[in-house]
C-alpha cells in the first residue's frame, strides 16, 4: 500500500535519486532539505515514515529525530536514518535518538525499499499490502476486497480503512481522536462523533455473520477490535 514518506536530504542528487525510486514503488514523497522545512511539513500533516539524513545544514538529523520522539503527536512516526557514518558507535547513537533503522550510504534502492517495507510492517502494518484474516473475516488491501467465509462483503471507503486499521491493531484500545488521526489523518478536521457514525455503519455491515461483535466499545475510552467472537 502506498505510504506518504518525508525525505529529509540536503544533497540534491541523492534526494532526486531516492525520491524517484520511492515514487516508482508507488509511494508519495514529500521533500525537505533542512530541519525547519521538515518540521513545517510535519506540522501540516503527519507522514507515514521519515527518511532522515544525519548531516543537514543547521539542526542535524539526530536533532530532528530527538525532537520527533519528544513530542506526543510525532512520537510514533517510523524513522530511518540515512548516513555515511559506518562506525558502530555512530549507529548506536543514531538508534538511541529514536531512529527505528539505520542505513549506511551508499545503499541500493532495493535495500532501501526492503527496509521501508519491513519497518512499516512492524510500526504501521495498515500501510502494507499484506492481507489479514480474523475469524473468517478477510481483508485484502491490494484488491480492496472484504470477504466473510469466502463471500464478498461491500464496505464504504472509510469503513474499509477503519476496519483495516482495527484488524492490524487488534486488541488495542483506541480513542476517537486516535482513530481520527490514523484513519482520517491528523490534518483533517472533523468531529470526534464522526467516528461513532462510521463504527455503526461498519458494525451494520458485519452484523449478519456476527462479526460486528469483534468491534467492542470500551466505555469512557474508545474502541477495540477483538480477535475473539
pLDDT (tens digit per residue) in 56-113: 988 888 899 999 999 888 888 899 999 876 666 666 776 777 888 888 888 899 999 9
Q: For residue range 42-53, what is the model confidence (pLDDT) as tens digits?
A: 988 788 899 999
Tell how many helices (H) and how many strands (E) occur in the chain.
8, 12
Going through the chain in order, the beta strands assigned E by DSSP cover 4-8, 28-32, 49-53, 79-83, 101-104, 132-134, 137-140, 145-148, 151-153, 173-174, 215-218, 222-225
155, 181, 164, 168: which is closest to 48 by C-alpha?
A: 181
Lowest mean pLDDT of 67-81, 103-117, 124-138, 158-172, name the range.
Answer: 124-138
Distance CA 117, CA 37 (A): 25
| Entry pTM | 0.64
Q: The domain 4-127: what is its CATH number? A: 3.40.50.2300
Residue 78 sits at φ, ψ, to 5 deg, of -65, 135
Ranges of each domain in the chain: 4-127, 132-225
Higher pLDDT, 225 or 169: 225
Q: pLDDT tier at 29 (50, 70, 90 boundaries)?
A: very high
Q: The domain 132-225: what is its CATH number? A: 1.10.10.10
Amino acid at each position: 500500500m502506498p505510504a506518504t514518506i518525508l525525505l529529509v536530504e540536503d544533497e540534491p542528487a541523492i534526494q532526486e535519486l531516492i525520491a524517484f525510486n520511492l515514487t516508482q514503488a508507488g509511494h508519495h514523497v514529500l521533500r525537505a532539505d533542512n530541519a525547519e522545512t521538515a518540521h513545517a511539513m510535519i506540522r501540516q500533516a503527519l507522514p507515514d515514515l521519515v527518511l532522515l539524513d544525519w548531516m543537514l545544514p543547521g539542526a542535524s538529523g539526530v536533532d530532528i529525530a530527538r525532537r520527533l520522539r519528544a513530542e506526543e503527536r510525532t512520537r510514533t512516526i517510523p524513522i530511518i536514518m540515512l548516513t555515511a557514518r559506518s562506525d558502530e558507535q555512530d549507529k548506536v547513537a543514531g538508534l538511541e535518538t529514536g531512529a527505528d533503522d539505520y542505513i549506511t550510504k551508499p545503499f541500493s534502492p532495493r535495500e532501501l525499499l526492503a527496509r521501508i517495507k519491513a519497518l512499516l510492517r512492524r510500526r504501521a502494518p495498515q500501510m502494507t499490502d499484506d492481507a489479514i484474516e480474523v475469524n473468517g473475516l478477510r481483508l485484502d488491501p491490494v484488491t480492496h476486497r472484504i470477504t466473510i467465509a469466502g463471500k464478498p462483503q461491500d464496505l464504504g471507503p472509510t469503513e474499509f480503512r477503519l476496519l483495516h486499521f482495527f484488524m492490524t491493531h487488534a486488541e488495542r484500545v483506541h480513542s476517537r481522536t486516535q482513530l481520527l488521526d490514523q484513519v482520517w489523518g491528523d490534518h483533517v478536521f472533523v468531529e470526534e462523533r464522526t467516528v461513532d457514525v462510521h463504527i455503526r455503519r461498519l458494525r451494520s455491515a458485519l452484523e449478519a455473520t456476527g462479526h460486528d461483535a469483534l468491534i467492542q466499545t470500551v466505555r469512557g475510552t474508545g474502541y477495540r477490535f477483538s480477535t475473539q467472537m
